[in-house]
A and B are shown apart, each in its own frame.
Chain A
Amino acid sequence: MKEEELNFEKEQFSLTMIPGKFARSMRTCLIWQFIRFVIINVKMIIVVGKSH
């Protein structure tokens, strides 16, 4: 059984979505996260600008 499938055994978790290996690895992939860091920062700066 894949790691992400283990928790679906609990009834409370059975209707949720749980990330698989690829999605989890992208969370710590430095190149991808650096790109996301830039994008999130730009979006947050726009939100801050719209809020003032």
Chain B
Amino acid sequence: MARLVVLGGGVAGHTTATFAAKWLGSQHEVVVVTPNAKWNWIPSNIWVGVGQMTKEEVTFDLAPVYAKAGITYHQAKAVSINPEGSDSSEKPFVTIEYTQEGKAGETEVVEYDYLVNATGPKLNFDATPGLGDGNGQLGENTVSVCTADHAVHASHKLAEAVEKMKGGTRQKFLVGTGHGMCTCQGAAFEYIFNIENELRKAGVRDMADVKWISNESFLGDFGMGGLHMKVGGYVVSSKLFAESLYAERSIDWLIGAHTSKVENGKVEYELLDGSKGEEEFDFAMLIPPFAGVGLKAYDKAGEDITGTVFAPNGFMKVDADYTAKPYAEWKASDWPRTYQNPTYSNMFAAGIAFAPPHLISKPMKSPNGTPINPTPPRTGMPSGIIGKAVAHSVCDLMTKGENAHLHEASMAEMGAACVASAGKGVFTGTAAAMTVYPVVPDFEKYPGTGRDTDYTFGEIGLAGHWIKHILHFLFIYKAKLNPGWTLIPE
């Protein structure tokens, strides 16, 4: 019997572990190490953040699901990896530290035959002074929708702001990115339109100033260098699409901005042209930058090999081409296909945890040398697809031997759907539904836009909104491993 250890229980880790457990059966063991007791459908945190859903509607307990699937579950965080074992152990192992009540702080060694690193990101709030609390957590100056608890807190703050407006006090809302190297603009994009919609519903829109602040060099970059999509018979840049949305709803924007400091009611920023400024707010939701979770790696002698296994940003190196080269020489083939670690073939990374070879958006710097550009998104659909491909590969390695064919899932050959809703009512909400194929543009295959415009499209309406609702229920149903779960695509 061999053992697969999966670090992380988010979209990528949960997909890997549950498919591996199904395909391997009782012949092999699947272990999940995740610090969270609950699974969270993160896209719906947006609705929690405006008070349209409860935390309970977007989360569920992991323990009974893993028990049903025959997966060994440790509510713990991984601290380090020893891919060669140690003086006292021939087998590779991970050191974990429990987070569950009653065992918190206890450490344990978990040996593995295969390891999948799907830890997701560290929400690096402290990268921007005042955005974090100095201990790596969300600070008191802004709110967040990155976790269900954060979203609950955000909804309370939003309700307070609405009450103030009803009392006659004008409020300024600032939503976007909290650092020059953030990703996940899509979440902030969806949140600002949900806030705007809630303000209209509450009858206080005329008492609110709503502003977008982002590290994108143009509206609609979304960390993917923007996209050209089919809209109403035209092929248009996402810049036009996004600007139209903001203008229609009277939302101002400040782009190419590195948020350098956050204080109570004020952010300081630097723009791509090198100028600096301040923006005041009463309510701010700023996405933090992501980093690796800080896993360490040691060789058999106990020497630190973190730099061999992980990139400087803390994400795990995989089969990507990490050679430094200028933007003009970037290729779709730079992106990983199997997500296997190049040094240790029994280690893989899935979802946000793998180190991308470079940005997708054009790299930008201010004249002061401050990098201000979105980093590549790897959340949602790509995370699930990569997780499943990695599960396939590991299962084949475990059952067919070391020479088994590895499954591939390059982001340059993979699409993604982004449905950004505004409102939640079945007949009153609308959504911007966008599909991009492929996520990473391939200018050799698709000269011009880098993408297939038959499958890269966007539109606004109830249809996308219904899809958002369906995705919410479908993916939670699937993650709970209810009957027929394997039929639901990632």
Q: Do A and B come from one complex?
A: yes
Contact A44 B463 (CB under 8 A): no
Return the CB mask of B252-278 against A: 1 if under 8 Å, else 0.
110000000000000000000000000
* Chain A residue with the shortest CB-CB distance to B382: A51
The verdict on B381 contacting chain A, using a C-beta distance below 8 Å, is yes
The verdict on A50 contacting chain B, using a C-beta distance below 8 Å, is yes
The verdict on B159 contacting chain A, using a C-beta distance below 8 Å, is no
Chain B residues with CB below 8 A from A7, complex form: 247-248, 250
Chain B residues with CB below 8 A from A47, complex form: 415, 417, 435, 437, 455
Contact A51 B244 (CB under 8 A): no
* Chain B residue with the shortest CB-CB distance to A41: B467
Contact with B385, one of A33, A37, A40, A51 (Cβ below 8 angstroms):
A51
Query: Knowing A10-B250, A27-B430, A37-B466 touch, does A19 contact B435 (C-beta < 8 A)?
Result: no
A44 to B433, alpha carbons, bound, how many Å? 10
* Chain A binding surface, main DSSP class: helix
Contact A50 B461 (CB under 8 A): no
Considering residues B409, B430, B463, which has the most beta carbons from chain A within 10 angstroms of its beta carbon? B463
Query: Knowing A17-B240, A48-B415, A51-B381 touch, does A28 contact B437 (C-beta < 8 A)?
Result: no
Contact A36 B459 (CB under 8 A): yes
The verdict on B359 contacting chain A, using a C-beta distance below 8 Å, is no
A15 to B346, alpha carbons, bound, how many Å? 54
Contact A27 B415 (CB under 8 A): no
Chain B residues with CB below 8 A from A13, complex form: 243, 246-247, 250
* Chain B residue with the shortest CB-CB distance to A13: B247
Chain A residues with CB below 8 A from B388, complex form: 52
Chain B residues with CB below 8 A from A36, complex form: 459, 461, 463
Contact B243 A16 (CB under 8 A): yes
* Chain B residue with the shortest CB-CB distance to A32: B461
Chain B residues with CB below 8 A from A41, complex form: 467
Chain B residues with CB below 8 A from A48, complex form: 381, 415, 489-490
A17 to B62, alpha carbons, bound, how many Å? 46
Contact A28 B455 (CB under 8 A): no
A51 to B415, alpha carbons, bound, how many Å? 6
Return the CB mask of B406-440 against A: 1 if under 8 Å, else 0.
00010001110100000000010010010101000
Contact A27 B461 (CB under 8 A): yes
Contact A28 B462 (CB under 8 A): yes
Return the CB mask of B217-247 against A: 1 if under 8 Å, else 0.
0000000000000000000000010011011
Return the CB mask of B445-469 against A: 1 if under 8 Å, else 0.
0000000000101011111101100
Contact B252 A12 (CB under 8 A): yes
A24 to B404, alpha carbons, bound, how many Å? 54
Tally of B interface residues using CB under 8 Å = 34
A46 to B435, alpha carbons, bound, how many Å? 11
Contact A30 B413 (CB under 8 A): no
Contact A34 B244 (CB under 8 A): no
Contact with B467, one of A8, A12, A34, A40 (Cβ below 8 angstroms):
A40
Contact B489 A52 (CB under 8 A): yes
Query: Knowing A19-B248, A51-B414, A52-B385 touch, does A43 contact B462 (C-beta < 8 A)?
Result: no
Contact with A19, one of B244, B457, B462 (Cβ below 8 angstroms):
B244
Query: Knowing A12-B252, A51-B414 touch, does A40 contact B240 (C-beta < 8 A)?
Result: no
Considering residues A32, A43, A47, which has the most beta carbons from chain B within 10 angstroms of its beta carbon? A47
B439 to chain A, nearest CB (A): 9
B426 to chain A, nearest CB (A): 11
Return the CB mask of B382-420 against A: 1 if under 8 Å, else 0.
000100100000000000000000000100011101000
A47 to B377, alpha carbons, bound, how many Å? 18
Contact with A12, one of B253, B409, B415 (Cβ below 8 angstroms):
B253
Contact A46 B455 (CB under 8 A): yes
Chain A residues with CB below 8 A from B413, complex form: 50-51
B293 to chain A, nearest CB (A): 26
A46 to B250, alpha carbons, bound, how many Å? 35
Chain B residues with CB below 8 A from A50, complex form: 413, 415, 437, 455
Return the CB mask of B356-381 against A: 1 if under 8 Å, else 0.
00000000000000000000000001
A15 to chain B, nearest CB (A): 8
* Chain A residue with the shortest CB-CB distance to B431: A27
Contact B463 A40 (CB under 8 A): yes
A21 to B244, alpha carbons, bound, how many Å? 14
Contact A33 B467 (CB under 8 A): no
Instruction: Pull 11 A–B residue pairs with CB atoms less than 8 Å apart, ordered by A.
Output: A17-B243, A18-B248, A27-B460, A28-B430, A40-B459, A41-B467, A48-B381, A50-B413, A51-B381, A51-B437, A52-B385
A17-B244, A33-B466 provided; 6 other pairs, C-beta below 8 A? A16-B247, A18-B248, A34-B463, A37-B463, A37-B467, A47-B415
